[in-house]
């Protein structure tokens, strides 16, 4: 009988992105709201991660299923920032005096959609309720090409942002058109020049591969253009066409040759001084390791001890993950934002929607987060975290070696190139049956 991994390997490689297990579609309403004080009581609060979600964009890209809305009417952004202030006050109170932050990220949506005044108001709120953050604390901020100005970059620098991340997707007009991403290529170049000149320690560029018309040559051409700006990091995202997105509505499908595109991009980056950190993330050899980024904002990987602020932001303790409700369609998202804006300080002081992680789920999450990175999964790290032997707890991991996807030493299990490129097969294979079933039954709006 073939193992479940063997069966999965017969299917196409892109089966799901395991960046933030469990996915929000596995979340449900808690039987009773849980006071945040209780949620965070036993958590180590000496090194927390602050994530602020800003669900506004100047456009809705055809491929994007992130929690965001476009062209907010009237004073929606300022009302949203008032709600953020209220949530920060309530969260700061619940976490108490022992809270200390050591990393931060602003994601979305497009945080740079905010005006200079709005950004200043946001940073003031954070300082007021969470206290000053340590100097030099790694803090990441997402931008889109059309929303960046010199003034905003100066402000971000003055406020301690250390990493800028921008979505470019492709440098070729025909490809961005097919992806449903309206974008002026000359403006992309102007913005990247401004960003580089602004002197932030880390700059990241997101690119997407898998548009039907893309060839290995045109894909490498986009990466070559990105490298002109010497970004410390590059995220290469395989195109997924997800439910309720613009591309799905018009019946587009991703190209069949995504794996071929991936390999062409990976090889080009390796030849040009970048090392692979995970399937999606590449880092310049000379860039410091410390600036370990989110694996996506929300598309992006995450740690325990994360305090999420804003509609759509997740928070994680060891055993409780929570956020506002989840939607992809415009009206569903608008409803959730309206509900968020209408919340009282007391409403913000409880977790209402999320997921409790059993010890087994915590182990699975740990395995995914370590195994899907090039450095691999250390037996000692697993043991010190869970007081157990990895291969006795999860003997199915040995299938990775049998299938030629990983090597095994006394110290760790490490995916090889064949394994890393199948990360989006291995990730979903590691999901528990319970979480897979919950995700399948989620009613997406």
Q: Are 294 and 301 in contact (CB under 8 A)?
A: yes
Give the total of residues touching ligand SF4 (CB under 6 A).
12
- Binding flag, residue 109, ligand SF4 (CB under 6 A): yes
- Binding flag, residue 108, ligand SF4 (CB under 6 A): yes
- Binding flag, residue 165, ligand SF4 (CB under 6 A): no
Give the phi and the psi of residue 391 in degrees, each rounded to 5.
Answer: -75, -15
- Binding flag, residue 308, ligand SF4 (CB under 6 A): no
242-259 burial, b for 16+ CB within 10 Å, e for fewer?
eeebbbbeeebebbebbb
Binding at 62: pick from ligand SF4, ligand SAM, none (beta carbon under 5-8 Å per type):
none
Query: Contact positions toward ligand SAM, by CB under 6 A?
Result: 57, 63-66, 107-108, 110, 142, 144, 166-167, 169, 206, 208, 237, 239-240, 242, 297, 299
User: Please, what is the minimum distance in Å from the beta carbon of residue 208 to ligand SF4?
Assistant: 9
Give the phi and the psi of residue 108 in degrees, each rounded to 5.
Answer: -170, -145
- Binding flag, residue 55, ligand SF4 (CB under 6 A): no
Dihedral over alpha carbons 323, 144, 155, 98 (to 10 degrees): 20
Binding at 206: pick from ligand SAM, ligand SF4, none (beta carbon under 5-8 Å per type):
ligand SAM
Q: Which position among 9, 20, 52, 61 is part of the footprint of ligand SF4 (CB under 6 A)?
A: 61
- Interface of this chain with ligand SF4, residues 129 to 158, rule: CB under 6 A: 144
User: Please, what is the minimum distance in Å from the beta carbon of residue 180 to ligand SF4?
Assistant: 9
In sequence order, the 6+-apart residues with CB closer than 8 A to the CB of 42 are none
Give the C-alpha separation, 300 to 105, whole Å.
10
The two structure tokens encoding residue 437: 């079933």
Residue nearest to ligand SAM (CB): 167
**Cα–Cα separations (whole angstroms), residue 36 to 61, 103, 126, 384, 397:** 35, 20, 18, 28, 36
Q: Which position among 9, 26, 48, 57 is part of the footprint of ligand SF4 (CB under 6 A)?
A: 57
- Binding flag, residue 413, ligand SF4 (CB under 6 A): no
* Adjacent-strand bridge partners of 281: 235
Q: Are 316 and 231 in contact (CB under 8 A)?
A: no
Q: Which residues bind ligand SF4 (CB under 6 A)?
A: 57, 59-61, 64, 66, 68, 108-110, 144, 167
């Amino acid at each position: 009988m073939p193992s479940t991994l063997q069966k999965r390997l017969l299917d196409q490689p892109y089966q799901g992105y395991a960046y933030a297990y469990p996915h929000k579609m596995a979340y449900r309403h808690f039987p009773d709201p849980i006071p945040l004080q209780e949620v965070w009581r036993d958590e180590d609060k000496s090194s927390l991660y602050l994530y602020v979600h800003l669900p506004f964009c100047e456009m809705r890209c055809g491929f994007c299923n992130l929690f965001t809305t476009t062209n907010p009417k009237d004073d929606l952004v300022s009302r949203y920032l008032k709600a953020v202030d209220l949530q920060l006050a309530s969260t700061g109170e619940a976490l108490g005096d022992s809270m200390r932050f050591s990393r931060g990220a602003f994601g979305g949506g497009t945080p740079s959609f905010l005006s200079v005044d709005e950004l200043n108001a946001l940073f003031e709120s954070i300082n007021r309720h969470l206290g000053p953050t340590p100097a030099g604390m790694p803090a990441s901020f997402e931008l889109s090409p059309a929303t960046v100005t010199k003034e905003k970059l100066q402000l971000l620098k003055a406020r301690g942002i250390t990493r800028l991340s921008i979505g470019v997707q492709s440098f070729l007009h025909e490809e961005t058109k097919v992806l449903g991403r309206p974008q002026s290529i000359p403006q992309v170049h102007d913005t990247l020049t401004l960003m580089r000149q602004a002197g932030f320690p880390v700059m990241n560029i997101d690119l997407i591969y898998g548009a039907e018309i893309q060839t290995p040559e045109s894909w490498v051409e986009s990466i070559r253009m990105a490298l002109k700006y010497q970004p410390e990091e590059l995220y290469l995202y395989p195109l997924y066409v997800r439910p309720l997105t613009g591309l799905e509505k018009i019946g587009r499908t991703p190209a069949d040759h995504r794996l071929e595109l991936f390999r062409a991009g990976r090889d080009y980056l390796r030849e040009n001084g970048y090392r692979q950190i995970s399937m999606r993330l590449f880092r310049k050899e000379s860039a410091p390791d410390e600036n370990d980024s989110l694996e996506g904002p929300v598309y992006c990987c995450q740690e325990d001890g994360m305090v999420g602020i804003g509609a759509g932001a997740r928070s994680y303790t060891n055993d409780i993950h929570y956020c506002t409700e989840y939607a992809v369609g415009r009206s569903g998202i608008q409803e959730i934002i309206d509900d968020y804006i209408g919340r009282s300080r007391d409403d913000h002081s409880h977790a209402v929607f999320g997921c409790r992680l059993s010890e087994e789920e915590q182990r699975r999450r740990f395995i995914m987060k370590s195994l899907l990175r090039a450095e691999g999964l250390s037996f000692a790290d697993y043991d010190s975290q869970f007081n157990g032997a990895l291969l006795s707890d999860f003997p199915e991991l040995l299938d990775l070696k049998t299938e030629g996807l990983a090597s095994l030493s006394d110290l760790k299990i490490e995916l090889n190139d064949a394994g890393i490129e199948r990360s989006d097969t291995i990730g979903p294979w590691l999901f528990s049956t319970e979480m897979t079933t919950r995700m399948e039954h989620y009613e997406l709006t």
